[in-house]
Amino acid sequence: MSRDLVAHIADLLAPLGPVRARAMFGGFGLYLDGPMFGLIAWDTLYFKADALNRPDYEAAGCEAFKPGPAALPYWRVPAEVLEDQDHLCAWARKAHEAALRAPPGKRRKK
């Protein structure tokens, strides 16, 4: 995993606010104002998707993040979106909105 790629993506998303990248499971989770809205794994950027923004990814021919037998609700960001910062930020905003709509995850018991 390239930390340079993570820093580059965070810089591109800076207009959204302070995007934090946190190392996890060999990749990085991307966070904005609390929820995780994206991830970088195997040098590929994925954004959170739900029923409202998933059609954008499907129309672009993208696939869901599938680290094992089951897919997660993160979809590969199209290459053409990565080429334009404004376009990337628009997709990231939709991903952040999807993250805010998602039910809270399970919490570990103390």
**Please, which pLDDT band fits residue 1 given cuts at 50, 70 and 90?**
low
Say which CATH number the domain at 86 has: 3.30.1460.30
Q: Distance of CA 70 to CAs 12, 32, 64, 78, 104, Å?
A: 30, 25, 10, 21, 20
What pLDDT score does 107 carry?
43
pTM value is 0.91
Digit-coded pLDDT (tens) for 61-100: 999 999 989 999 999 999 999 999 999 999 999 999 999 9
Q: Is residue 51 part of a domain?
A: yes
Q: Chain-wide mean pLDDT for the chain?
A: 92
Nearest to 48 by CA among 12, 103, 91, 105: 91
Using DSSP's 3-state secondary structure scheme, residue 87 falls into: helix
Q: Is residue 107 part of a domain?
A: no
Q: Is residue 109 part of a domain?
A: no
Task: Give the full edge-to-edge strand order of the sheet including 27-32.
Answer: 19-24, 27-32, 36-41, 44-48, 74-76
Q: Is the pLDDT of residue 109 over 60?
A: no
Contact 81, 91 (CB under 8 A): yes
Which whole number is the average pLDDT over 4-25? 94
What's the domain range around 88?
A: 3-101
Distance CA(31)–CA(22), nearest Å, equals: 8
